[in-house]
Amino acid sequence: MEKIKVLEAIKKLKQEAEERKFDESLDLIINLKSFDAKRENVNVMITLPHPIRKPRVFGLFNKRSAVIDFILKEDFDKYTDKKIMKKLIESHDFFISVANLMPVVASKFGRFLGQAGKMPSPQLGILMNENDDEIKKIVSLMERIVKVRSKEPSLKFITAKKSMKDEEIADNILQSIHAITNGLPKREQNIKSILIKLTMSKPIKLQ
C-alpha cells in the first residue's frame, strides 16, 4: 500500500471528524476473508515506529522499583484471589517480571494472566536483569507495542492517536498492516478490506 494514499485518507478522516474534548484513538480495521476464526487464528505483537500510549505496567519482582507499581515475591500469596487479580489485570496493560522469578510467577498467576493474554513472555515482559534502567527500557518499548489476537474474521485495534503527526500515523498504519499480513495464514489473500476510523468517527476505506 502506498504511503501517499494512507496520508490522503488520514487527512480526510481528520477533516471530517468533529472536535472532541479528548485525544481520539485512531483504529485500524482489517476485515478478513477465507479465514475460519474457529480453526485459524491471528496472534501478532506489533512494534510500532511511534509511541501511542503511556502504558500501565505492573511488576512482579524480587526487589523494589522506583519506576512502576509492583508486588514482591514475599507478597505473591496475597494476590492469588480471583477478584483481586481481576481488578489488577483490568487496571494494567502489561505485566513484567525477571527471568529467575518466572517459575513462581507462572505457578501463582499463570491461570489469571495467561487467560487475559498478559503473561510476561520472552518477547515482551521478562527482564534478564532486575534494575530500574532495564525496567525503563521495557516500559519505553511498551509505548509502541500493540497485541492483536483474532476472535472473529475482523481485526480492530489502535494504531495511533489523532494528535499525532500525519506522517507518524501513516508509519504506524503501514507497519501494522505489514505485521498483520505476515501473521495471516494466506497473507494478502486473507485480507478483504482495510479501514481506519477515529473513536467517534465513521470509518474510511483504505483498501
Q: Which pLDDT value is given to residue 97?
A: 97
Which CATH number goes with the domain that contains 96?
3.40.50.790
Residue 72, all three cell numbers: 514482591
Look up residue 121 and give its DSSP letter.
Answer: B
State the amino acid at position 43 in one-letter form. Answer: N
Which CATH number goes with the domain that contains 162?
3.30.190.20
The answer to whether residues 68 and 125 belong to one domain is: yes
The answer to whether residues 18 and 79 belong to one domain is: no
Domain containing residue 124: 57-142
Q: Which pLDDT value is given to residue 123?
A: 82
Q: What are the pLDDT digits (tens) for 73-126?
A: 999 999 988 999 999 999 999 999 999 999 999 999 999 999 998 999 888 889
The residue written with cell numbers 489473500 in the block is 189
Residues 141 and 47: beta-carbon distance below 8 Å? yes
The answer to whether residues 116 and 154 belong to one domain is: no
| Structural domain count, the chain | 2
The answer to whether residues 130 and 65 belong to one domain is: yes
Segments of the chain assigned E as strands: 25-32, 43-47, 57-61, 69-72, 94-98, 126-127, 145-149, 154-161, 191-198, 204-205
Q: Which pLDDT value is given to residue 204?
A: 95
Residues 149 and 41: beta-carbon distance below 8 Å? yes
Q: Which pLDDT value is given to residue 1?
A: 82
pLDDT band at 146 (very low <50, low <70, confident <90, very high): very high
Q: What is the mean pLDDT of the chain?
A: 94
The answer to whether residues 82 and 127 belong to one domain is: yes
Q: Which pLDDT value is given to residue 85?
A: 94
pLDDT band at 3 (very low <50, low <70, confident <90, very high): very high
Q: What are the pLDDT digits (tens) for 62-71?
A: 999 999 999 9
Q: Which of 142, 165, 185 is the last residue of a domain?
A: 142
Across residues 52-58, what is the average pLDDT?
94
Q: Which of 95, 112, 142 is the last residue of a domain?
A: 142
The answer to whether residues 129 and 81 belong to one domain is: yes
The answer to whether residues 99 and 126 belong to one domain is: yes
Q: Which of 120, 142, 164 is the last residue of a domain?
A: 142
Decide: residue 6, CB within 10 A, 0-12 exposed, 13-18 middle, 19+ buried.
buried
How many degrees, rounded to 5, is the angle at CA 86 between CA 29 and CA 73? 115
Q: What are the pLDDT digits (tens) for 160-199?
A: 999 999 999 999 999 999 999 999 999 999 999 999 999 9
- The pTM (predicted TM-score) of the whole model is 0.83
Q: How many CB atoms lie within 10 A of CB 103?
A: 10
The answer to whether residues 167 and 188 belong to one domain is: yes
The answer to whether residues 158 and 112 belong to one domain is: no
Report d(CA 99, CA 125) in Å as an integer.
9
Q: Residue 207: pLDDT above 80?
A: no
The answer to whether residues 94 and 138 belong to one domain is: yes
Q: Which pLDDT value is given to residue 141?
A: 93
Q: Which pLDDT value is given to residue 80?
A: 85
Residue 179, all three cell numbers: 505485521
The answer to whether residues 65 and 117 belong to one domain is: yes
The answer to whether residues 79 and 17 belong to one domain is: no
Q: Which pLDDT value is given to residue 50?
A: 97
